[in-house]
A and B are shown apart, each in its own frame.
Chain A
Amino acid sequence: MDIGFLAQFVLSGVMLGVVYAMVAVGFTLYFGVLDVINFSHADVLTAGAFLSLATYLGLTAAGVQMPFAVLALMLVAGLAGMAALGMVIAKFFVLPLRHAPPFITLLMTLMLGTAMREAIRLFYPSGSNPQSFPKLLPKTAYHWGNLLVREDTLILIATGIAVIALVSIFINRTRLGLAIRAVAQDGETARIMGIHFEWIVLLVFALGSALAAIAGVMNGLYYNEVSFSTGLRLGIIGFCAAVVGGLGNMYGAILGGFLFALLQTVAVVAMPAFSAYKDVFAFTAIILLMVIKPTGLIGEATSERV
C-alpha cells in the first residue's frame, strides 16, 4: 500500500481518536469522583453542539461577520451552557441517587439523556433532520502524493490534544485538581480533610460537560453537520473507550479513545470490502478485550471491598 494512503488513514484515525478520547475523559472523571456512569454525557455533547449552532445563527442574524470572534463566542456559549447543565444534572439527578445501586444511576442518566435527545429532536426547529454546521475554520488543503491534509483537521487535532493536556495538568498539578483526586480516592476522608465534597462533584461535572461541549463543537466543525443522535453514537463509543481503558483512570480513557479509533481504521484498511462492518468489528474487539482484561487496560488495582 502507498505510504500516502496510510498516512491519510493515520490522520483521520488520530482525528477520531482525539474526539473519542475527549468524550471518554468525561466518563472517567465522573466515575472517579462518584463511582457512577453518567450516560447523559453523550447528550450533553449534542446539546453543546446545538447551543453553539444556535449562537452562530443568532450572531449571523445580528450581522456579526468576524469568523474567529463568532467561533470564540460559540465556544463560550457552549462551554458555559453545558458546564451549568452538567452541574444541574449532578445536583438534581445524580447526587440524590448516590446511595442507590449502580444500575439505578446508570438507568437514570440513560433516561435523562434520552429525554434531552428527544427534546432537541422535537423542539429544535426541524430538529429530526441533520443540521448543517458552519464552516468556520480555513479549509486550505495541502497535497503530498496521496496524502491530503486540510488546515481545519490540523487545527482541530492540535486543539483537542491541547485541551486534553490542559485537563491533565489541571487534575495533576493544581490544588483543585488535588482535591478532585482526593475525592476520587476516598470521599469520606476527603471530607474530613475539609474538602467540600459536593462542590468538587459539581466542579467535575461542569468540567466533564464542558469537555463534551468542546468535543461536540469540534465534531461539528469537522463533519459540518450535527444531528440529535450525534451524541448517542459518540457517547457509546466514548463509554466503551473509558471502560476498556479502565474506569476512573484518565490515561486509560485517552488510550481507549485512540484504541477505538485505531480499531475502526484498521477495519477499513485491512478489509476494504467490508468497511461497512467497521463498527461491528470494533465493538466485537472491545468485547473480546473485556474478556482478557475484565477491569480495563489500565485497570483498578484494588480488589472489591466487601
Chain B
Amino acid sequence: MAAAMKPPGRIPAVLAIAAIGIFSALLLLLHDRWGPVIVVGVGAIMLVAALKTGAAARAERSFAAHEGAMNAMVVAVFLGVFVALGRENFSLLMLCTVLLYGIACLGLNIQLGYCGVMNFAGAAFFGAGSYTAAVLAANTALPHLLILAAGGIVAGVLGSVLLLPLLRTRGHYAALITVAFGVLFRSFLEVNDTLGGPQGLVVPGLNLFGWSFNDPITVGGFKLSFYFNYALLILLLASIAFVMARRLERSWIGMNLDAVRIDEVAASTFGLNVPYLKIMAFVIGNVFAGVAGAVFAMMTGFVSPNDFDFSTSLVLIAIIVLGGIGNPWGILPAAALVIILPEKLQAIQEYRFLLYSLAVVAILLFRPDGLFPRRLRRYFPDRAS
C-alpha cells in the first residue's frame, strides 16, 4: 500500500471547495427561470462523476490531511460569496438559514452521530431558542448577546426535562419520547395565547454593542444588504460551533461517545459512565439548536409555531443523513442542498417535502452512509493514515 502511505496533497480539496463555492454563488446569483436549472443539472452530473471516479474520496482524504487550512479556506469562500451577494437580501437570507440549520444540525449530530441518542424534536429545541429570543428581546432590556445565550440555555434546560425518560428508555421507546415531545411543544405553542398562539410573535432586530443589525452597512459608498451583518455574525457562530464539535469529536469524550453509540453495554463494562455521556451529548446538542433558533428569530423578525413542527425536525434529520451521519463536514453541503435548491428551482418548490423524503429514502436504500460518509477516526493526525 505504498500509494496510500503518501500524504495527499492540498490540490483536490482546494479544487472541491472552490467548485462548491462557485456553484453556490452562481446558483444564488441567477434569478431567471432556467439558469438555476442548468447550474443544478451540471452540478449534479459533476457530483455523480466525482463520487463514481473516486475524485470525491480523493478530495476528502486531502481535506482530512490539511484540515486547518481547508477549514480556513471554507470560511474564506463563504466571505467571498457574501461579498459577491452583497446587496441581495433574499440570497443572503438563504445562506444565513443554511448556516443556522447547519449549527442546529451540528448539535443534533453530536447527539445522533456521536452518541447515538435519537432526537426527533430538533425543531422544538430550535423553537425554544426562537421563542426565548422573541420574548426576551420584546419585553426586557437584556443585552442581545445575553439573549442569544439565553436561547441556548432555555433549550438546554427544556431538554433536561426529557433526560429522565430518555435515560430510562431505549431504542424505539426513547424515540417515542422525543416524537411526543416535539408534537407536544408545537401543540403548546399553538394554543398558548401569551406566546401569540398560531399567529406567532414579532421579534425586534439584533443589536450588539450599539451595532444595529437591521441597518444596512455602507462600505466606501457601496451599500450592502442589512443581512450582511447577520451573515457575518452567523458565520462566526457557525465557525465556533464547528470548532467546538470537532474538538469534542477528537477528544477522549468523543471517543467515549463513539463507544456508547456502538455498544452501550460494552461501554459500561469498560467503566464509561454511559448516562453522564448521554446527558452531555443531549444537552450540548440542544444548546446548539437553541442558539441557532435565537439568531434565526432575530434575523427573520418573526416566529410562529409553523416553523417548528414535526416536519421541520425531520428536515433537520434529513440533512444529517444526507450529509452522512456523524460527519460534521457533510452537514453544510447537505443543508445547502435541502434549503437552497427548492427555493431556487421554482418548479420544484411546491414539491420540496416530497423530494426531501424521496431523496432520504433513496440514500438509505442505495448509499446508507450518506453522500459523504464519516471517516474512521485517525489516531495520529500528524501521520498519514
Interface residues of A (CB under 8 A from B): 31, 37, 93, 96-97, 100, 102-104, 106-108, 110-115, 118-119, 122, 232, 236, 239-240, 243, 247, 276-277, 279-280, 283-284, 286-288, 290-291, 294-296, 304, 306
A118 & B354 in contact (Cβ 8 Å cutoff):
yes
Q: Which B residues touch A232, using CB under 8 A?
A: 310
A280 & B187 in contact (Cβ 8 Å cutoff):
yes
Q: Which B residues touch A104, using CB under 8 A?
A: 364, 368
Cα distance, A237 to B318, chains bound together (Å) = 23
- Contact partner, A122, options B181, B311, B354, B357, Cβ 8 Å: B354
CB contacts under 8 Å to A, within B326-360, are: 350-351, 353-354, 356-358, 360
Q: Which A residues touch B162, using CB under 8 A?
A: 287
CB contacts under 8 Å to A, within B160-188, are: 162, 164-165, 168-173, 175-177, 179-181, 183-184, 187-188
Closest to A275 in B: B191
Q: Which A residues touch B358, using CB under 8 A?
A: 111, 115
- Contact partner, B176, options A93, A103, A290, Cβ 8 Å: A290
- Contact partner, B172, options A31, A97, A304, Cβ 8 Å: A31
B171 & A102 in contact (Cβ 8 Å cutoff):
yes
- Contact partner, B187, options A243, A279, A290, Cβ 8 Å: A279
Q: Which A residues touch B265, using CB under 8 A?
A: 304, 306
Q: Which B residues touch A110, using CB under 8 A?
A: 314
* Main SS at interface, chain B: helix
Interface residues of B (CB under 8 A from A): 112, 116, 118, 162, 164-165, 168-173, 175-177, 179-181, 183-184, 187-188, 191, 265, 310-311, 314, 317-318, 321, 350-351, 353-354, 356-358, 360-361, 364-365, 368
A118 & B181 in contact (Cβ 8 Å cutoff):
no
The verdict on A115 contacting B354 (CB below 8 Å), with A280-B188, A287-B181, A290-B168 known, is yes
B318 & A283 in contact (Cβ 8 Å cutoff):
no
Cα distance, A45 to B356, chains bound together (Å) = 21
The verdict on A118 contacting B357 (CB below 8 Å), with A283-B183, A287-B177 known, is yes
B351 & A122 in contact (Cβ 8 Å cutoff):
yes
Cα distance, A205 to B317, chains bound together (Å) = 26
The verdict on A240 contacting B176 (CB below 8 Å), with A93-B361, A111-B357, A111-B360 known, is yes
B180 & A287 in contact (Cβ 8 Å cutoff):
yes
* Main SS at interface, chain A: helix
Q: Which A residues touch B321, using CB under 8 A?
A: 107
Cα distance, A294 to B188, chains bound together (Å) = 24
Q: Which A residues touch B357, using CB under 8 A?
A: 111-115, 118
Give the distance to chain B from A208, nearest Cβ to Cβ, in Å: 16
Q: Which A residues touch B164, using CB under 8 A?
A: 291
Cα distance, A243 to B278, chains bound together (Å) = 22
Give the distance to chain B from A40, nearest Cβ to Cβ, in Å: 10
Q: Which 8 A-B pairs have the closest CB atoms?
A: A118-B354, A114-B357, A276-B191, A283-B184, A115-B357, A111-B357, A294-B168, A111-B360
- Contact partner, A106, options B172, B351, B365, Cβ 8 Å: B172
Give the distance to chain B from A100, nearest Cβ to Cβ, in Å: 7
- Contact partner, A240, options B169, B171, B180, B191, Cβ 8 Å: B180
**Subset of 13 A-B contacts with CB under 8 Å:** A96-B365, A97-B364, A103-B175, A114-B357, A115-B357, A118-B351, A236-B183, A243-B176, A277-B191, A279-B183, A283-B183, A290-B168, A291-B164
Closest to A292 in B: B168
A93 & B318 in contact (Cβ 8 Å cutoff):
no
**Inter-chain pairs besides A31-B172, A108-B365, A111-B318, 10 sampled, C-beta below 8 Å:** A37-B172, A112-B357, A122-B351, A239-B179, A243-B172, A280-B188, A286-B176, A287-B177, A290-B168, A295-B169
Cα distance, A100 to B321, chains bound together (Å) = 14
A239 & B176 in contact (Cβ 8 Å cutoff):
yes
The verdict on A111 contacting B188 (CB below 8 Å), with A104-B364, A247-B172 known, is no
Cα distance, A111 to B118, chains bound together (Å) = 16
Q: Which B residues touch A296, using CB under 8 A?
A: 173
Q: Which A residues touch B176, using CB under 8 A?
A: 239-240, 243, 286, 290
B170 & A304 in contact (Cβ 8 Å cutoff):
yes
Q: Which B residues touch A304, using CB under 8 A?
A: 170, 265
- Contact partner, B173, options A107, A118, A290, Cβ 8 Å: A290
Q: Which A residues touch B171, using CB under 8 A?
A: 102
Cα distance, A129 to B365, chains bound together (Å) = 32
Closest to B116 in A: A103
Give the distance to chain B from A149, nearest Cβ to Cβ, in Å: 30
Cα distance, A240 to B177, chains bound together (Å) = 9
Cα distance, A273 to B314, chains bound together (Å) = 33
Give the distance to chain A from B204, nearest Cβ to Cβ, in Å: 28
Cα distance, A118 to B321, chains bound together (Å) = 20
B368 & A107 in contact (Cβ 8 Å cutoff):
no
The verdict on A114 contacting B172 (CB below 8 Å), with A240-B180, A277-B191 known, is no
Give the distance to chain B from A122, nearest Cβ to Cβ, in Å: 6
Q: Which A residues touch B187, using CB under 8 A?
A: 279-280, 283
B177 & A111 in contact (Cβ 8 Å cutoff):
no
Cα distance, A106 to B112, chains bound together (Å) = 14
Give the distance to chain A from B361, nearest Cβ to Cβ, in Å: 5
Give the distance to chain B from A33, nearest Cβ to Cβ, in Å: 15
Give the distance to chain B from A114, nearest Cβ to Cβ, in Å: 4
Cα distance, A290 to B364, chains bound together (Å) = 30
